[in-house]
Amino acid sequence: AAVEVSEKDKIIHNIMTQYLPRDVDSILKQIVNHVEYTLARTKYNFDEQHAYQATAYSVRDRLIESWNDTQQYFTEKDVKRVYYLSMEFLMGRYLNNALLNLGIESQYQGALKKLGFDLDEVEHQERDPGLGNGGLGRLAACFMDSLATINYPAWGYGIRYKYGMFEQRISKEGYQIEIPDYWLTAGNPWEIERLDVKYPVRFYGEIKHNGKHYEWQGGEVVTAIAYDSPIPGYDTYNTLNLRLWSATPASEFDLDSFSRGDYYSAVASKEAAEKISSVLYPNDATEAGKELRLKQQHFFVSATLQDVVRRFKKKDRPLTELHTKVAIQLNDTHPTIGIAELMRIFMDHESMGWSAAWATTTKVFSYTNHTVLPEALERWSVDLVEKLLPRHMQIIYEINRRHLEEVVKKYPGDGDKLMRMSIIEEGFPKMVRMAVLAVVGSHHVNGVAAIHSGLVKSRLFPDFYKEQPDKFLNMTNGVTPRRWMQSANPALSEVISRWLETDEWVSNYELCRGLEQFVDSADMQREFREAKRTNKKRVAERIKKEFGVEVSTDAMFDIQVKRIHEYKRQLMNVLSIICRYNAIKRMTPAEKEECVPRVCIIGGKAAAGYVIAKHIIRLINGVSKVVNNDKDVGDLLKVFFMTNYNVTLAEDIIPANDISQHISTAGMEASGTSNMKFVMNGGLIIGTMDGANIEIREEIGNDNMFIFGLLEEEIDRARNELKYGGYQHTDSRLQEAMKQIEANKYCGKDVSEPLLKNLQPYNDYYLVTRDFSSYMDAQARVDEEYKNQTSWVKKTITSVARMGKFSSDRTIREYGEQIWNLEATPFVPSSVAYKTV
């Protein structure tokens, strides 16, 4: 379609026809310009932090060019867009990712070198924005990278928390300490503040009927302000947007309180508005149930939907067609209030009737479930929802009434079914089940790995599955090879590209299958091992610096990094480490000669209020201290708790893994995503038949994994056996370890008592004692196989070659085709309105 070109457009085009040039000297000039004009520093004397900021601004300039063109192009083509709504985006650092995606890393390296800086060091100046807890937030970030790379029209929407995930420190005694993460201290060069993009969001108040429709009035109003970050794709000009909302006082004034002469308290009450976007709830897979959390949810969802509807209405057409241009993905139930909010907008603002509003709403939303743990399923008390969002409560009741009416029609007299399928849980207090609302209001519901999607159908929503089997899908998670291989592991990436004679695998992972034909090549084996050694050396240096302990790169690097949670069973890992320690203490010199040295690395944060998880951290630190200082052990075993695990630390240590642990009780880890990253980086997995481990095994083969433990279908029975006394472990190694803990060898009884209590048969919900022997057997196989370094490296090569399924590009294509109905839309300059390359 031809685009009209105005005189003004022509004038602007004539003076700004060129994109920012990409040669070293131009880039150098752009950086120095930002030092002087943006940072207002002298260009003759600036430090690394300012070099970082100026570099970031210069990269941002480029992204703004492509961002503007991409968005204008999408609008011109009137494409359908997906909006990914997530309370968490764990983006990690931007700079290196942007340079690699734009393909200008070496030019920036050159420019900075001329200025006397090392790009690597400059990149290390960037703060890691921790706007998420763990897997769910990082998945959203990988998805944004793939959406951009595949050229899908998409936006991310979330919250711009002032305080992200807390910084973790460890006290002298080995306890976790939480420090607030004020990540904006030095500003954020990647965001663009849009003071003109703002929406009012209301809370509390009352409902009036004006004869035509309901109106929500009074209460409190805050303003949501947009902060945009451009998201570049790899090897494409397309640039997407991540829009995060920040809360500010509403501009409308409550004249009453001012005229009452209550000036100071009126101002103070305005200040309270900012609390809404001030802090990320640091809970992983447990539900907090706090009023402020529901406020956060409605705040970002309401602003987002107003923004989406405004964009749709720019073209003159009925809102009943919204679903033809808009798909909204709910990242877990956190944004589910949006289903009621869109209904409210349709009916109360746009005068739509219920049926039309509901038909459209259910064609717009789809919902991803990320856990079957009952304690993580969000439920809000009816009282709270009624108070905070009175109109939404009315609408939810009406959604439920109509929904249950259908159920009654089909199953007259089946009260149990009605109770199970109701959005409202009857009880004291009455609760709104957000997951049921999400299922009822969505056209598709998906789990995040095959086993998990099965459990979503069979355990969480069996009644719904029976009625609408096609509504339920599996979308196995994936991770982006750009950040997790190309950027995090340049050593291995270089080897892969050289053997494949292309670096196209970075956006087409399946090409890595081509590595398999060389698996017997001694050269390739050597190069894989050299890359591994490079990565282990870097981590060894980090350990030396942080702990003052030397570790050998010949040792097996064994890593478990993830949020600390009982179901992830870090406790089982540390118990096996204690057993390993005891075994080493008993070894003869000849046996020691045969023993494979291990460096055990554990990392992760415990939610501040999760007492047992914090005890586990304390135990790990206690074991670390005893083992690392025991002269008898020497190099054979070293144990480190890596503090403050985050995306940046993950990028550093994952490439160094020989083996990684994904050992959740079967059925409890929905997918896991680090399991994928570890294998892509040339390591093997010891793990249970849980989450995506199962599909990884399917892809890379049973010989390339160390699988152990009960299967999901065996768990209920085993739990009952433990609980009612039919089973008691007899593993003498475990008995010895537990005795030592009981004798407070590793930590005080404040920690050892509650931990041991949890391991008693009637309390061992996570089946640590039940899976223990099988786990130890698997560990023995790991030791044995590691002795044959040739066969080991061959396993890692084969595994890297076969991991294509777990690229988030594959995942996002499946969402695009099966749920969102999107078309890839690469930018094509189609009119004079765009600049020329």
Q: How far apart are CA 620 and CA 755, in angstroms?
A: 12
Rounded CA separation 349/329 (Å): 23
**Which member of 81, 160, 202, 563 is catalytic?**
563
| Contact stretch for ligand GPV (CB under 6 A) within 127-135, 263-271, 493-501, 743-751 | 127-135
Between 232 and 672, name the residue whose CB sits nearer to ligand GPV: 672
Closest CA to 827 of 330, 285, 396, 232: 232
Q: Partners of 642 in the beta sheet?
A: 603
Between 147 and 584, CB nearer to ligand GPV:
147
Of these, 129, 130, 134, 282, which contacts ligand GPV (CB under 6 A)? 134
Residue choice 136, 345, 555, 747 for contact with ligand GPV (CB under 6 A) = 136
Catalytic residue among 673, 688, 796, 811: 673
- 340, 400 contact by CB (below 8 A): no
- How many residues line the site for ligand GPV (CB under 6 A)? 19
The answer to whether 313 is a known catalytic residue is: no
- 27, 91, 98, 139: which one binds ligand GPV (CB under 6 A): 139
Mark the segment that binds ligand GPV (CB under 6 A) among 22-30, 135-143, 435-443, 468-476. Answer: 135-143
**Smaller CB separation from ligand GPV, 53 or 446:** 446
- Sign for the CA dihedral angle at 333, 334, 337, 339 comes to negative
Q: Which is nearer to ligand GPV, 446 or 799 (CB)?
A: 446
CB nearer to ligand GPV: pick between 451 and 656 = 451
Q: Which is nearer to ligand GPV, 71 or 86 (CB)?
A: 86
Give whole-number Cα distances, 828 to 21, 326, 812, 825, in Å: 19, 22, 22, 9
Shortest Cβ 577–ligand GPV spacing (Å)? 24
- Taking the complex as a whole, how short is the minimal distance between the CB of residue 723 and ligand GPV, in angstroms? 25
Question: Rounded to an integer, what distance in angstroms lies between the CA atom of residue 433 and that of residue 425?
Answer: 7
Q: What dihedral do alpha carbons 625, 626, 629, 630 form, nearest 10°?
A: -160
| Cα Rg, the chain, nearest whole Å | 28
Taking CB under 6 A as the binding criterion, the range among 18-26, 131-139, 383-391, 515-523 that sits at the site for ligand GPV is 131-139
Please, what is the minimum distance in Å from the beta carbon of residue 285 to ligand GPV? 4
Which helix (H) or strand (E) element contains residue 35? none
User: Which residue, 806 or 820, is less far from ligand GPV as judged by CB?
Assistant: 806
CB contact at 8 A, 543 and 600: no
- Provide the residue type at 147 as one letter: L
Q: Tell me which amino acid residue 364 is.
A: V
Site for ligand GPV in 442-461 (CB under 6 A): 448
Binding of ligand GPV by 543 (CB under 6 A): no
- Nearest to ligand GPV of 65, 332 (CB atom): 332
Q: How far is the CB of 18 from ligand GPV (least distance, A)?
A: 42
Tell me the C-alpha distance between 71 and 242, whole Å.
12
Nearest distance, CB of residue 456 and ligand GPV, angstroms: 12
And the tokens for 251?
């501009």
Q: Binding residue for ligand GPV (CB under 6 A) from 477, 621, 758, 779?
A: 477
Which of 95/165 has CB closer to ligand GPV? 165
From start to end of 439-588, where are the E strands? 444-447, 472-474, 556-561
Give the residue with the Cβ less far from ligand GPV, 663 or 797.
663
Strands 444-447 and 472-474, by their bridges, are: parallel
Choice from 20, 207, 376, 824 touching ligand GPV (CB under 6 A): 376
Residue nearest ligand GPV, Cβ-based: 135
Inter-residue contact 184 to 277 (CB < 8 Å): no
Options 129, 135, 478, 682; binder of ligand GPV; rule CB under 6 A: 135
Draw the binding track, 174-213, toward ligand GPV (x: CB under 6 A; -: no contact).
----------------------------------------
The answer to whether 125 and 648 are in contact (CB under 8 A) is no
DSSP classification of residue 520: T
Query: CB 370 → ligand GPV: shortest distance, Å?
Result: 4
Please check whether residue 675 is in contact with residue 693, taking contact to mean a CB–CB distance below 8 angstroms.
Answer: yes
Alpha-carbon torsion 611, 613, 617, 623, what sign?
A: positive
Q: Give least dist CB 135 to ligand GPV, A.
A: 3
Chain centre distance of CA 663: 19
Q: Which of 65, 128, 228, 332 lies at the binding interface for ligand GPV (CB under 6 A)?
A: 332
Q: Which residue of the set 62, 243, 370, 483 is catalytic?
A: 370
Note whether 370 binds ligand GPV by CB under 6 A: yes
Side-chain-side CA neighbours of 280 within 13 Å: the count stands at 31
- Beta strands per DSSP E along 71-205: 81-85, 154-159, 167-170, 176-179, 192-203
Is 124 catalytic? The answer is no
Cβ 278 to ligand GPV shortest distance, Å: 20
799 binds ligand GPV (CB under 6 A): no
Smallest distance from ligand GPV to CB 348, Å: 31
The first and second tokens of residue 623, run together, are 């074991």
CB 662 within 8 Å of CB 691: yes
Contacts (CB under 6 A) with ligand GPV, residues 639-678: 669-673
Distance CA 780, CA 70 (A): 54
Exactly one of 334, 568, 615, 662 is catalytic; name it: 568
Stretch of 33-41, 129-137, 184-192, 528-536 lying at the interface with ligand GPV (CB under 6 A): 129-137
Contact letters (x/-) for ligand GPV, 277-306, by CB under 6 A?
-------xx---------------------
370 in active site: yes
Kindly tell me which of 560 and 624 has the beta carbon lying closer to ligand GPV: 560
Per-residue buried b or exposed e for 27-52, using 16+ beta carbons within 10 Å of the residue's own CB: bbebbbebbeebbebebeebeeebbb
Figure out which of the listed residues 153, 603, 691, 709 binds ligand GPV, where binding follows CB under 6 A.
691
562 noted as active-site residue: yes
> Which of 371, 486, 681, 688 is in the footprint of ligand GPV by CB under 6 A?
371
For residue 632, the minimal CB distance to ligand GPV (Å) is 39
> Residue 601 forms beta bridges with which residues?
559, 640
> Cα–Cα distance between 492 and 655 in angstroms, integer?
9
Question: Which residue, among 238, 226, 244, has the nearest Cα to 85 in the 3D structure?
Answer: 244
Interacting residue with ligand GPV among 133, 360, 480, 740 (CB under 6 A)? 133
Residue from 532, 495, 534, 535 nearest 515 by CA: 495
Residue 673 annotated as catalytic: yes
The residue assigned the tokens 């420090």 is 179
Smallest distance from the beta carbon of 690 to ligand GPV, in angstroms? 9
With beta carbons less than 8 A apart as the criterion, state whether 464 and 443 touch.
no
Is 677 tagged catalytic? yes
Name the token pair of 471.
């509504």
| E strands in 176-301 | 176-179, 192-203, 206-209, 214-217, 220-232, 239-249
Whether residue 656 contacts residue 536, with contact meaning beta carbons closer than 8 Å, is answered with yes
**Minimum CB distance to ligand GPV, residue 626 (Å):** 31
Q: Which is nearer to ligand GPV, 337 or 352 (CB)?
A: 337
Residue among 60, 536, 565, 677 flagged as catalytic: 677
Please choose, out of 71-79, 99-107, 132-140, 336-344, the segment that lies near ligand GPV by the rule CB under 6 A.
Answer: 132-140
HEC readout, 348-361: HHCCCCHHHHHHHH
Q: At closest approach, how far in Å is the CB of 136 from ligand GPV?
A: 3
Do residues 241 and 70 make contact, with C-beta atoms less than 8 angstroms apart? no
As annotated, the active-site residues are 370, 562-563, 568, 673, 677
Which residues bind to ligand GPV, rule: CB under 6 A? 133-136, 139, 284-285, 332, 370-371, 376, 448, 477, 669-673, 691
